[in-house]
């Protein structure tokens, strides 16, 4: 309830007073609202997820994941060259000195996932804040977001670990026989090749995604070139963003109606402050509606979205190869 109150309170003061919260370049000393008599600086508010979440378009973090050898790195490099925001987890781990230990038996490094998750979250917040600033300073609108990869509020996280870090995931799939050839060409040991081929055959990464992610999609890449796979991924990313944007627009309509209602109450109450009006208002029922929209709208849209339906998992069953 405290978070909900703060979120709606912040929204309403922004809506009612039309405060220019971007004045003086996010000055740490500028106080822009008052909650229960306590002044709060914009720097403090801007760091609050709930404010950035509602005053700017949604910023998606999408995992590009899959068994090693399915083409994640090559595909992400191509999209990165076009201007899409990409986080390569392997490079990120080295750059930020994320702790890891060598597993000689499995011939791989085991990373400290808690440390990685915290570091990726901080990076996500940084990239998101940079986009929010650009959205404001460049005067962008919702209609501009698909015009350029630079304007699209999406961070693509590339790694076979990426689905542990995101709530949306795209899984690259490759036929186990093709995957075996690719891993042999990389010089993997026989044991490591068979471990990954078996994992692909029984959908290990895909099943993990369903455990950790809100939405899961897959692209079968066996007979696709890198360019063709990139076309699929672009199509899917933009469709996913359209879906999330519909949720955002519905939420903003609710906020606008809510703020107009509060403004009317404020005027009728002979000049009481917005904080005084809000203190007498019960948010419990409205809050439940606001917070439930994301999943309900998303589930409805996916069932009626032909592009998203193209990439719904379940079309590949290679489990018989393990017999």
Same domain, residue pair 50 and 85: no
Same domain, residue pair 12 and 43: yes
> Is residue 196's pLDDT more than 90?
yes
With respect to residue 230, please indicate whether it lies within any of the assigned structural domains.
Answer: no
Cβ pair 56, 132 in contact under 8 A:
yes
Over the stretch 92-128, which tens digit does the pLDDT of each residue have? 998 988 877 776 666 667 788 888 999 999 999 899 9
With respect to residue 312, please indicate whether it lies within any of the assigned structural domains.
Answer: no
Rounded Cα distance between 154 and 321, Å, is 36
With respect to residue 171, please indicate whether it lies within any of the assigned structural domains.
Answer: yes
Residue 23 is given by DSSP the state G
CA dihedral sign of residues 168, 174, 176, 180? negative
Output 76 or 42, whichever has higher pLDDT. 76
Same domain, residue pair 104 and 18: no
With respect to residue 237, please indicate whether it lies within any of the assigned structural domains.
Answer: no
Same domain, residue pair 28 and 65: no
Same domain, residue pair 39 and 65: no
Q: How many domains does the chain have?
A: 2
Neighbours of 304 (CB within 10 A): 8
Same domain, residue pair 81 and 203: yes
Looking at residue 22, its pLDDT comes to: 35
Token representation of residue 277: 């009006």
Same domain, residue pair 97 and 199: yes
With respect to residue 315, please indicate whether it lies within any of the assigned structural domains.
Answer: no
Environment class of 42 (CB within 10 Å of its CB; exposed 0-12, middle 13-18, buried 19+): buried
Same domain, residue pair 50 and 76: no
Looking at residue 274, its pLDDT comes to: 53
Same domain, residue pair 206 and 84: yes
CATH number of the structural domain spanning residue 188 = 3.40.50.300
With respect to residue 317, please indicate whether it lies within any of the assigned structural domains.
Answer: no
Cβ pair 122, 105 in contact under 8 A:
no
Same domain, residue pair 76 and 211: yes
Strand partners, 102: 109
Q: How confident is the model at residue 20 (pLDDT cuts 50, 70, 90)?
A: very low
> Is residue 177's pLDDT more than 90?
yes
Q: 246-266 in b/e burial notation, b at 16+ Cβ within 10 A? A: bbbeebeeebeebbeebbebb
Q: 141-169 in b/e burial notation, b at 16+ Cβ within 10 A? A: eeeebeeebebbbbbbbbbbbbbbbbebb
Q: Which domain holds residue 42?
A: 2-55+242-307
Q: Mean pLDDT lowest for which of 51-60, 152-161, 175-184?
A: 51-60
Rounded Cα distance between 218 and 206, Å, is 8
Looking at every residue in the chain, the average pLDDT score rounds to: 75
Over the stretch 212-270, which tens digit does the pLDDT of each residue have? 898 899 999 999 999 999 999 999 999 999 888 887 777 667 666 766 666 666 556 65
Which residue reads 């994992």 in tokens? 199
Q: Mean pLDDT lowest for which of 3-17, 150-164, 233-247, 250-264?
A: 3-17
The alpha-carbon radius of gyration of the chain (Å, integer) is 23
Cβ pair 3, 54 in contact under 8 A:
no
Looking at residue 18, its pLDDT comes to: 34
Environment class of 85 (CB within 10 Å of its CB; exposed 0-12, middle 13-18, buried 19+): buried
Looking at residue 264, its pLDDT comes to: 64
CA dihedral sign of residues 45, 49, 54, 58? positive
With respect to residue 150, please indicate whether it lies within any of the assigned structural domains.
Answer: yes
Q: How confident is the model at residue 273 (pLDDT cuts 50, 70, 90)?
A: low
Same domain, residue pair 18 and 123: no
Return the SS3 of 219: strand
With respect to residue 276, please indicate whether it lies within any of the assigned structural domains.
Answer: yes
Same domain, residue pair 154 and 13: no
């Amino acid at each position: 309830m405290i978070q909900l109150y703060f979120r709606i309170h912040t929204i309403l003061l922004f809506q009612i007073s039309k405060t220019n919260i971007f004045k003086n370049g996010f000055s740490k000393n500028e106080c822009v609202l008052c909650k229960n008599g306590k002044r709060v600086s914009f720097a403090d508010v801007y760091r609050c997820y709930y404010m950035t979440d509602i005053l700017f378009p949604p910023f998606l973090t999408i995992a590009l994941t899959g068994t090693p050898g399915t083409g994640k790195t090559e595909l992400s490099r191509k999209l990165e060259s076009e201007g899409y925001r990409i986080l390569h987890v392997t490079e990120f781990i080295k750059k930020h000195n994320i702790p890891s230990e060598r597993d000689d038996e499995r011939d791989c490094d085991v990373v400290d996932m808690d440390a990685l998750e915290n570091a990726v979250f901080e990076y996500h917040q940084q990239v998101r804040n940079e986009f929010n600033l650009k959205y404001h300073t460049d005067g962008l609108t919702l209609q501009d977001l698909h015009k350029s990869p630079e304007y699209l509020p999406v961070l693509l996280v590339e790694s076979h670990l990426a689905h542990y870090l995101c709530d949306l995931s795209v899984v690259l799939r490759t036929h186990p026989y093709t995957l075996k050839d690719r891993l042999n060409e990389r010089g993997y040991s026989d044991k490591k090749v068979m471990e990954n081929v078996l994992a692909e055959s029984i959908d290990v990464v895909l099943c993990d995604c369903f455990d950790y992610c809100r939405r899961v999609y897959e692209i079968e890449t066996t007979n696709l070139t890198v360019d063709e796979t990139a076309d699929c991924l672009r199509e899917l990313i933009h469709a996913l963003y359209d879906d999330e944007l519909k949720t955002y627009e519905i939420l903003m309509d609710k906020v606008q109606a809510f703020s107009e209602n509060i403004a009317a109450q404020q005027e009728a109450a002979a000049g009481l402050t917005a904080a005084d009006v809000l203190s007498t208002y019960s948010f419990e029922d409205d809050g439940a509606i606001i917070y439930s929209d994301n999943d309900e709208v998303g589930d409805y849209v996916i069932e009626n979205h032909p592009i998203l339906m193209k990439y719904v998992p379940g079309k590949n069953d290679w489990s018989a190869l393990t017999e």
